[in-house]
Amino acid sequence: MEELSNTIRTPTYSHITKEDLDHIYEPAEDSFLLIDALEKDLDLIRERKPSLCLEIGSGSGIVITALGSVIGSQCRYVSTDINPRACNVTRETGRLNGIHIHSVCTDLVSDVIDDVKGSVDILLFNPPYVVTPSEEVGEGDLEYTWAGGKHGREVMDRLFPSVDSLLSLKGLFYLLVLKENDPSDIEQVMSKFGFSCTCVLSRRTGPENLSVLRFFRQR
């Protein structure tokens, strides 16, 4: 039987090269805030006995790998990223830390939704959230990782209508947001899709006020 920790250690990612970082998002304060939020919620997550975890826009893969290290092999780990290099790095991050990740190169969940519909117990998304002109959204490898367009919401708003289809009945959706994304409005949008919201953790990092929101089905 696997011995699992109650604390989440930062996964090894020394394999990521300088050349990789010219194309993929480098693990940063927002990545570690999301990991810290998952650690804070670890008892709740384990109570759900997750069998499928999906991370959208996995980048380096450290978030889904970190969660896998404390959930164990009874859970299946799937990730997506629109950047094929990020998919390869995610797989390698998982492998070096003993976590098998099925990484799919696709826009958001386009090529996985039919396979995982209604069965995702833990959904993770650290989206492009920076407020930028709309024309910067999706421009180039690195811009994909941070440019969020109007209110920093253009990418995440595209996902919200799919969350109900993705999540299992016991599913939890963890979303990292910036204050400028208007978290209270996001809560209202998700409420219309049948979800309640809790802020798990907030942190100021430099000029950014970041929060991790947890969504779950309304009873």
Residue pLDDT, tens place only, 116-126: 999 999 999 99
Question: Phi and psi for 34 in degrees, rounded to 5?
Answer: -65, -40
For the chain, domain boundaries: 28-217
CB burial string 25-56: b at 16+ within 10 A, e below:
bebeebbbbbbbbbbebbeebeeeebebbbbb
CA distance 16 to 19: 8
pTM for this structure? 0.96
Domain 28-217's class? Answer: alpha beta
| Helix ranges (DSSP H) in 97-182 | 113-116, 140-146, 154-166
Residue pLDDT, tens place only, 139-180: 767 767 888 999 999 999 999 999 999 999 999 999 999 999
